[in-house]
């Protein structure tokens, strides 16, 4: 589909650049300095505190911390969904940067089958229910 080419928004470029820089600096500080590592505390979950059940993101911070330490198995045990969703986030960031920088790539060129988008929502809800069942307790954080 050939839409009239819009001028690239400068502020979008700056936001993307800032996002990338902040991510790189945070990961560098996390790997390099132990003091910064101690500052990262798991966020207290309101849902989990109130009901005693697990929410789909419980253990997400621990999963990312284990990933940064290079322990994939521990990360997968902490939160399966948070690790499996990372490639999707990477693809989303890639598409967003393509939208900003590639002049021949417009919003109408993004094509994903609706089935996969709805199954993402379904996976989240099923994961939420299943990890609270006793038989599937291995999905919960350690």
Partner 1 sequence: MTDTKPVAVVSQNNTLGIISLVAGIIGVILFVCCSYISVVLGIVALICGILAYQQKQQFALAGIILGAISIVLGIIFVIVGQVFIRELLPVIQREIRMMRF
What is the distance in angstroms between the CA of the first residue and the CA of the last residue of the chain?
A: 49
Instruction: Point out which residues bind partner 1 (CB under 8 A).
Output: 2, 43-50, 55-58, 60, 92, 107-108, 110-112, 114, 117-118, 120-121, 124-125
Least distance to partner 1 from the beta carbon of 21, Å?
17
Q: Which is nearer to partner 1, 58 or 75 (CB)?
A: 58
Q: What DSSP state is assigned to residue 92?
A: H
Contact 20, 123 (CB under 8 A): no
Q: Which is nearer to partner 1, 58 or 83 (CB)?
A: 58
How is residue 54 written in tokens?
């697990």
Q: Which is nearer to partner 1, 68 or 99 (CB)?
A: 99
Least distance to partner 1 from the beta carbon of 15, Å?
10
What is d(CA 137, CA 72) in angstroms, rounded to the nearest whole number?
A: 19
Reading phi first (left if > 0) and then psi (alpha if -120 to 50, else beta), residue 52 is in: left
How is residue 4 written in tokens?
């009239």
Q: Which is nearer to partner 1, 3 or 32 (CB)?
A: 3
Least distance to partner 1 from the beta carbon of 127, Å?
12
Least distance to partner 1 from the beta carbon of 75, Å?
17
């Amino acid at each position: 589909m050939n839409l009239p080419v819009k001028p690239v928004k400068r502020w979008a470029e700056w936001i993307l650049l800032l996002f990338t820089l902040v991510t790189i600096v945070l990961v560098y500080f996390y790997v390099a300095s132990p003091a910064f590592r101690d500052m990262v505390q798991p966020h207290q979950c309101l849902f989990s505190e109130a009901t005693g059940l697990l929410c789909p993101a419980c253990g997400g911070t621990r999963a990312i911390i284990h990933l940064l330490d290079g322990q994939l198995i521990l990360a997968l045990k902490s939160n399966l969904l948070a690790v499996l969703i990372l490639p999707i986030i990477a693809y989303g960031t890639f598409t967003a940067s393509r939208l900003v920088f590639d002049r021949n790539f417009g919003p109408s060129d993004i094509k994903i089958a609706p089935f996969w988008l709805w199954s993402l929502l379904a996976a989240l809800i099923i994961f939420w229910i299943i990890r609270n069942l006793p038989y599937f307790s291995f999905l919960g954080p350690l």
